[in-house]
Amino acid sequence: MPKGIVLASGSVHRRELLKNAGVDFTVRPAELDERALEAPLLGSGVTPEDVAAVLAEAKATNVSQNHPDEIVIGADQTLALGDDVFHKPATMEDARKTLLALSGRTHTLNSAVVLVERGVVTWRHVAVARITMRKLDPAFVGRYVAQVGARALTSVGAYQIEREGVQLMEAIEGDYFTIIGLPILPLLQELRTRGEIDG
């Protein structure tokens, strides 16, 4: 008999992806300080892919404590530009600076997804996408940030590729869902294999 499925994320984008795929789930965002968890990892030789996986596991494990009889989905995404790891911008000025830093360069998005049952990680997957942003005129960046408003603060790269953000791109290598922040195809396959969703 299928178990309940819980999404340990407050991300509107991840919630929409699962909902649009027809998955029945509840949302229970994790309550933890991601930056505090990440701090000892940065500079320790841990890859951005590993950081995404560790944070996804921490979120799902945190929520699993209160939902031991359900399958908890944890997800996280990191953006790496060379040795620098970016986070969601806190202010519109941070968003502008992020876009200018990415301008004309190729960055990597690492999207991790895990399944946790009774506090134990039972499955994990990390998908990688590479995005080359076109050379952006600073004045255009200012107009872009003003146009998208607070949405610039909801994603690690200060853009939504499914909306106006696609105008910033020159080339994309990788899966659309990875860029959004949830590698949903392997996740759905795993849930089907377990008999948690109809297959």
Active site residues: 76
Which pLDDT value is given to residue 198?
Answer: 87
Residue 41 has pLDDT above 80, yes or no: no
Residue 38 has pLDDT above 80, yes or no: no
Name the pLDDT band for 39 (thresholds 50, 70, 90).
confident
Residue 173, phi then psi, degrees to nearest 5: -120, 115
The DSSP secondary structure of 14-71, one letter per residue, reads HHHHHHHTT---EE----S-HHHHHTTTTTTT--HHHHHHHHHHHHHHHHHTT-TTSE
- Strand locations in the chain, DSSP E? 5-7, 26-27, 71-81, 84-86, 106-117, 120-133, 169-173
Where does residue 195 fall: left (phi above 0), alpha (psi -120 to 50 degrees), or beta otherwise?
left
Which pLDDT value is given to residue 1?
Answer: 56
Domains and CATH numbers, the chain: 5-193 (3.90.950.10)
- pTM of the entire predicted model: 0.90
CA atoms within 13 A on the CB side of 115: 20
**Residue 85: partners with Cβ closer than 8 Å, 6 or more residues away:** 42, 48, 51, 78, 79
| pLDDT tens per residue across span 96-120 | 999 999 999 999 999 999 999 999 9
| pLDDT tens per residue across span 76-96 | 999 999 888 888 899 999 999
Please give the structure tokens belonging to residue 87: 């986070």
| pLDDT tens per residue across span 59-80 | 999 999 999 999 999 999 999 9
